[in-house]
Amino acid sequence: MEPAIHSKSALLEKIENKTARIGIIGLGYVGLPLALRFLEAGYPVLGLDIDKRKTAMLMAGESYISHISAGPIGQAAQKGRFEAVTDFSKAGEADALILCVPTPLNSHREPDLSYVISSVETILPHLHAGQVVSLESTTYPGTTDEEIRPRIEKTGLVPGRDIFLVYSPEREDPGNPNFHTRSIPKVCGGSTPDCLEAGLALYKQVIDQVVPVSSTQTAEAVKLMENIFRSVNIALVNELKVAFMKMGIDIFEVIRAASTKPFGYMPFYPGPGLGGHCIPIDPFYLTWKAREYDVATRFIELAGEINTAMPYFVVQRAADVLNEHSKSIKGARILLLGLAYKANVDDDRESPTYRIMDLLEQKGAHVDYNDPYVPEIRPTRQYSRYLGRKSKDISGDYDLIILCTAHNQYKTINPDALKVPILDTRGFFSDTFENIYRG
């Protein structure tokens, strides 16, 4: 293949004058907000997803994510500025291709790059000179240059000359009212200096602050460090919660008081376990990669063990509370408040509530859930048997209620009026109520 002499200059010109067509691969919690941001900035956007239901809803002006309004996408679709399709051959029509696909763990807690590899393999026949390709999915250091770059090179395209390969980790925080795609600083690393230049040019058009780093490996490591930091600190407060509870000390009161220190302290909060697509998963990407270098990441693995054990602790606390009311966990009717992994969103990925539900049912309990954001359970990888189970009313006849997710809607609940013990895993309810138990 002849070198594309003017590939970079032509690409930068398109990006600058906003005629570059932006292709977003994966229209989920990361890809959809990013598509909206590029549309808002004036770019034509092509959305690619394997889910026909998603693409059909978007083209009809509907949203499948509660905190994201589809209005702007519907308007852009009507004007021909946005198209959502399952036909990946259209990737050749894009000047920028941004991969926002899942990177889960397999059953052995090893990285599962199948979504990334499959997406790359699908678009390979349609890549051409003058495109920038960016991976945003969280992964271990080396993925971009070890897995994606060789596949691109087999097509005859040379990264840094014909095509421009970068890694820029997503930093979405679903439902956070204080930070949005535009205002969250964006880290970017390139396979070559010219790749980095193209990546920076792309993201600077839509993100207020773009942070360049020396390589794709560094950018990949940044994302892992951020989430490992959270995982380790959450594990610490989860461990302290158990210890303090034995001492008759309320961990949430301790955190509130400690937070008054204006330096040297940052509050983290315990809960029923970790959820979401990042913190329960990302640390294990690094532990897996570190073994390749004969490095034992014991601190990270210990944090993972503590956080993974929290649903078991909640179930034991549930048994204790029921026992105080002369009831057995076997045959008990239990309602779980909150299926989403965090408050005020419909994101139930890796939610610890699923594990708590599973463990309670293994012990013979009859378990329902209530969640205003998840009226019906959607397909999940690990708990497919719960598909179609519907949210129940809080006023049902239950032996125990467990608060798993601190949705704002639950603030209207008067625990004493329910006349049923409530196990509060989030420190959500005031301890002035008679039937509140911390867990």
Catalytic residue among 100, 195, 278, 404: 278
Query: Pseudo-torsion of CA 339, 342, 347, 348, nearest 10°?
Result: -40
d(CA 84, CA 87): 9
Residue type, 67: H
| DSSP-assigned letters across all residues of 80-118 | TSEEEES-GGGGGG-SEEEE-----B-TTS-B--HHHHH
Both structure tokens of 54 = 């998603």
Where are the alpha helices (H) located in 106-215, listed in sequence order?
Answer: 114-123, 143, 149-153, 193-204
**Strands lying side by side in the sheet with 132-135:** 82-85, 45-48, 22-25, 96-99, 132-135, 164-167, 186-190, 210-212
Please report which helix (H) or strand (E) contains residue 307, including its range.
helix 298-324
End-to-end Cα, the chain, rounded Å: 63
d(CA 64, CA 376): 13
Both structure tokens of 50 = 């394997």
Does residue 404 carry a catalytic annotation? Answer: no
Both structure tokens of 170 = 């997503």
Report whether 351 contacts 275 (CB < 8 A). Answer: yes
CB neighbours (10 Å) of residue 410?
Answer: 20
- Catalytic annotation, residues: 278
